[in-house]
Amino acid sequence: MRDRIDRGDSLLAAYRADPPSSACTDVEIESLDLHVLDLFDRTDSPAKRADVARGLFLTREDLAPLLVLGTGLSGLRPSELLNLPASHQHDTVRGTVTIRVPDRRHGGHANLRWELRASDDQPLGPGDLYLMVHRLTERARRASGSDRLWCLWSLTGPGTMPPRSVAPLLKAWAHRHRLSDDAGLPLEPILLQVRRAYASLLASSV
């Protein structure tokens, strides 16, 4: 996903710098339709072709694996993960990212602070994933005016997905990858199962 969108950004930059003799090959221009991509990026008009939109946006098909990874790294409830705001504080000196979220236990708000990995050799952490998703969804947020982290492209235009639409995506993704529990049964609901595994690992490490 990251490589796909980074590639789309790179091709778009090359196209804008010198359209007639850009470094893009004919195959790349045909598959991404860079003229349409450029027009959409400049005007924020709805892109109706998924193959074009995938060059610049996260889509519905990208959401399930990212949510599974996000749950496994953070241990957040599905509702908490889906409702993460885009607003955050990135402290490059301390190497942390801080997000203000609702405090379910005491009311009001609380700060969720994650440390960032110091180098690419270290495992990806929840803060690193948050910043990556934030970057990959920035264009969709700009087009939709949303203040949420998980902002995607769809045929109706960029925006967030209703929570009720997420469960079918996760179920289809788990079925497609033949994910099952210890008894061999389909792994459902997958995010709750992943969160339980996170809690178990956390408890065993104490």
pLDDT band at 62 (very low <50, low <70, confident <90, very high): very high
Kindly report, residue by residue over 14-26, the tens digit of the pLDDT.
Answer: 777 876 554 555 4
Return the amino acid letter for 47: A
> Does pLDDT of 143 surpass 60?
yes
Contact yes or no for 130/136 (Cβ under 8 A): no
> Does pLDDT of 147 surpass 70?
yes
> Does pLDDT of 33 surpass 80?
no
> Does pLDDT of 197 surpass 50?
yes
Question: Can you give the three-state secondary structure of 10-49, one letter per residue?
Answer: HHHHHHHHCCCCCCCCHHHHHHHCHHHHHHHHHHCCCCCC
- Model pLDDT, residue 106: 79
Tracing tokens 């952490």 back to the chain, one arrives at: 125
Between the alpha carbon of residue 92 and those of residues 17, 89, 166, 191, the distances in Å are 32, 9, 33, 31
Better pLDDT: 168 or 183: 168
- Out of 56-65, 177-186, 191-200, the most confident range is 56-65
Between the alpha carbon of residue 95 and those of residues 67, 92, 127, 131, 134, the distances in Å are 23, 5, 10, 12, 16
- Model pLDDT, residue 32: 52
Kindly report, residue by residue over 171-183, the tens digit of the pLDDT.
Answer: 899 889 888 877 8
Contact yes or no for 139/56 (Cβ under 8 A): yes
Better pLDDT: 20 or 124: 124
> Does pLDDT of 27 surpass 60?
no
pLDDT band at 164 (very low <50, low <70, confident <90, very high): confident
In angstroms, rounded to a whole number, what is the distance separating the alpha carbons of residues 139 and 134? 10
